[in-house]
Amino acid sequence: MEDFLTLLLAGVSVGAVYGLIAIGLNLTFWTTRTMNFGQGSVMMLCAMLTANLIARGWMQGLAILAALAVIVVLMVFTEMYTVRPALKIEGSMGWAVSTLGVGIILQGCAALWFGSQAVAFPDVIFSAVDNVVIFGVHVSLQYIAVVVLALALVVVFELLVRGTVWGRAMRAVAMDQDFAAVIGIPVRAIVLGSYIASGLLAGISGILVAQIGGTVDPAFGFELVIFGFVAAVLGGMGSTPGALAGGIVAGVLQQMVGGYISSAAQHGMAFALLILILVVRPQGLFGQREINKV
């Protein structure tokens, strides 16, 4: 029972982060119907930079801010030089390949600068041994902190999207770019902003995952993106509550499979789940089937 609860909480915790990753993917999907295939490298780079700066004696908060600042610059570059020009190419081949390329460059650079070995990630929020007792079960504070933080981010994000002028402008861009431009919404800025916000969510997710796992290495992001994509697809592409729910479902399943079947099967499980959900219900658990307009 204790095992089960521990696994469950671990699953919810990591799943909430998958939800965050998925929301990041959704953001650019709304504005441009594109997604950063290199998002995993963004997560990795943010966590790597943070770990590295802290190791050099930077203050933790400052290290995180610096890493996020680098991510902002990176996302601006990605949008301007690899996504926007690639939109001219028919279909999604252009941007899928070009953003994947940026991801690979980053992974290569990280291996070059920091080495390809896993780096220990410092205890930013709580140490892995801090725990509280709930219903007689020892629960890691780190897990709880990650869940709370992820949920808080989702709430703030929803409030921003629903309550602010920028959020409404973004939804207008999502509905119809040309129309949004006609009524004076700065579409370019919104699209760029969606990429920056998407990168920030990915960066924070990277730090959170590294915090839970304890280490980070250059290849750490690729599978995480798939988990994020699983969450987004499970919840229905574009839906924020769906992304969170999908992430938690994926996270709990992953932990359960890892705990009760084999730790090796948990990766395979995610990939198989992705294929299954795309086949059986491509609109996701909460999404509506898109009508293909001919």
Residues that bind another protein (CB under 8 A): 35, 37, 81-82, 85-86, 89, 91-94, 96-109, 111-112, 222-223, 226, 229, 233, 262, 264-265, 267-268, 270-272, 274-276, 278-279, 282, 291, 294
Closer to another protein by CB, 104 or 151: give it.
104
Burial 237-269 (b: 16+ CB within 10 A, else e): bbbbebbbbbbbbbbbbbbbbbbeeeeeebeeb
> Would you say 92 or 131 has its CB closer to another protein?
92
Query: Residue 109 or residue 151: which is nearer to another protein going by CB?
Result: 109
DSSP, res 232: H
Amino acid at 18: Y
CB of 76 to another protein, least distance (A): 15
Could you tell me how many residues make up the chain?
A: 294
* DSSP-derived pairing of the beta strands 131-134 and 137-140: antiparallel
- Which residue, 101 or 213, is less far from another protein as judged by CB? 101
In angstroms, give the least distance from the CB of 292 to another protein. 8
Give the number of other CB atoms < 10 A from CB of residue 284.
23
H or E element, residue 289: none
Q: Which is nearer to another protein, 153 or 234 (CB)?
A: 234
Least distance (Å) between residue 137 CB and another protein: 31
What is the DSSP track for 126-141? S-TT-EEEETTEEEEH
Closest approach of another protein to the CB of residue 45, in Å: 13
Q: How far does Cα 99 stand from its chain's mean position?
A: 15
- Cβ neighbours of residue 146 closer than 8 Å, sequence gap 6 or more: 13, 14, 16, 17, 125, 208, 211, 212
User: Which is closer to another protein, CB of 36 or CB of 205?
Assistant: 36
Q: How far is the CB of 273 from another protein (least distance, A)?
A: 9
What whole-number distance in Å separates Cα of residue 248 and Cα of residue 259? 16
What is the nearest approach in angstroms of another protein to the Cβ of residue 87? 10
CA distance 114 to 279: 39
